[in-house]
């Protein structure tokens, strides 16, 4: 388990092992999620990074009167 300390400016340093594990880079945004008893930091991904995550055949059919 890695530990970090909150600075007087309320800043924290993410340990190197964790930064490398998740590929975090300077300037990257993290979502801060407050849950009962804990705080989670989730790397934010640009919408372009999500392209193709639902790969497979498109089975959606439009109704002819809605084209």
For 30-56, the pLDDT digits (tens) are: 999 999 999 999 988 766 666 676 777
For 5-28, the DSSP string reads ---TTS--PPPHHHHHHHT--TT-
Dihedrals φ, ψ of 35, to 5°?
Answer: -125, 160
pLDDT of residue 61: 77
Give strand pairing partners of 41.
Answer: 32
Mean pLDDT of the chain: 85
Answer whether residue 17 shows pLDDT above 90.
yes
pTM for the whole structure: 0.60
Write the CA distances from 37 to 12, 25, 33, 34, integer angstroms.
Answer: 18, 27, 11, 8
């Amino acid at each position: 388990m890695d530990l970090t300390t909150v600075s007087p400016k309320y800043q924290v340093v993410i340990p190197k092992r964790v930064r490398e594990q998740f590929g975090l880079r300077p300037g990257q945004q993290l979502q801060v999620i407050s849950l009962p008893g804990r705080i989670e930091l989730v790397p934010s991904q640009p919408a372009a990074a999500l392209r193709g995550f639902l790969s497979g055949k498109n089975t959606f059919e439009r109704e002819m009167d809605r084209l």
